Copies of this chain bind each other. A is one copy, B any other.
Amino acid sequence: MYGLCDSFGCSKNTNIRLKLPAVCFIWQIAMIILFGIFVRYNEESDTHWIEHKKTKRNLSDIENDFYYRYPSFQDVHVMIFVGFGFLMTFLKRYSFGAVGFNFLIAAFGIQWALLMQGWFHSFGTGKILIAVENLINADFCVGSCLIAYGAVLGKVSPVQLLVMTLCGVTLFAIDEFIILNVIHAKDAGGSMSIHTFGACYGLAISWVLYRPDLNQSKRLLGSVYHSDVFAMIGTLFLWLFWPSFNSAICSHGDGQHRAAINTYLALASTVLTSVAISSLSKDKGKLDMVHIQNSTLAGGVAVGTAAEFMLMPYGALIVGFCCGIISTLGYVYVTPFLEKNLKIQDTCGINNLHCMPGIIGGIVGAISAAGATEYVYGSEGLAAMFPMVPRLQGGHQAAGLCVAIVFGIGGGIAVGTVLKLPIWGDPADDNCFDDEVYWERCCSSGHQ
Contact = CB atoms under 8 A, between A and B. Distances in A.
Given A62-B252, A273-B25, A285-B21, A317 B32 contact: yes
Nearest to A46: B254
B253 A66 contact: yes
B222 A443 contact: yes
Given A95-B225, A380-B50, A28 B269 contact: yes
Given A62-B67, A67-B67, A443-B222, A47 B381 contact: yes
A55 interface: no
A14 B282 CA distance: 13
Contacts of A27: 272
A39 B72 CA distance: 25
Contacts of A45: 254, 257-258, 261
Contacts of A424: none
Q: What is the oligomeric copy number?
A: 3
Contact of A438 (B240, B286, B381, B447): B286
A85 interface: yes
A61 B253 contact: yes
A158 B77 CA distance: 33
B48 A279 contact: no
Nearest to A447: B224
A223 B24 contact: no
Contacts of A62: 60, 62-63, 67-68, 252
A60 B279 CA distance: 49
Q: Chain A interface mostly helix, strand, loop or mixed?
A: helix
Contacts of A279: 16-17, 20-21, 24
Interface stretch (A100-108, A169-177, A194-202, A403-411): A100-108
A177 to B, nearest CB: 21
Given A240-B82, A272-B104, A285 B16 contact: yes
A51 interface: yes
A312 B129 CA distance: 11
B314 A36 contact: yes
Contacts of A275: 20-21, 24, 104, 158
A180 to B, nearest CB: 20
A207 interface: no
Interface string A31-64: 1110110011100111111110100000011111
Given A131-B257, A131-B261, A272 B28 contact: yes
B68 A67 contact: yes
Contacts of A63: 60, 62
Given A46-B258, A261-B41, A439-B289, A17 B382 contact: no
Nearest to A96: B289
Interface in A102-157: 103-104, 107-108, 110-111, 130-132, 135
Interface in A270-302: 270-273, 275-277, 279-280, 282-289, 292, 296
15 contacts: A15-B285, A25-B273, A35-B314, A47-B382, A64-B253, A81-B240, A92-B444, A92-B447, A104-B272, A110-B268, A111-B265, A131-B261, A226-B230, A287-B439, A288-B440
